[in-house]
Amino acid sequence: MFACCDGDGYIELWDLNKDTEAPIAHKQTSKRTALNCLRWNNDGRKIAVGDSDGFVNLWSVDKEIS
């Protein structure tokens, strides 16, 4: 799994074992502020995503994949 975020407030999840050209999820945050950092937790089921306003959101990934 690979994740990335962008300046338009989107987070994308990629399963590189299945497809390297299209993400399996493409979601936008409700605030639509620029996302500038993310970090997986140790078990790989959640991602903390920081935005340009200094807020951090926690995303559950295991529900997105299944």
pLDDT score for 3: 94
Tell me the residue length of the chain.
66
Question: How many domains in the chain?
Answer: 1
pLDDT at 31: 80
* pTM summary value: 0.78
Cβ neighbourhood burial of 11 (10 Å; 0-12, 13-18, 19+): buried
Q: Given pLDDT bands bounded at 50, 70 and 90, which one contains residue 52?
A: very high
Q: What is the pLDDT of residues 5-49, one digit of tens each?
A: 999 999 999 999 999 999 999 998 888 899 999 999 999 899 999
**Structural domain range at position 49:** 2-65
- Residues contacting 57, CB < 8 A, separation 6+: 29, 48, 49, 51
Q: Maximum Cα–Cα distance for the chain, whole Å?
A: 34
The pLDDT score that the predictor gives to residue 61 is: 84
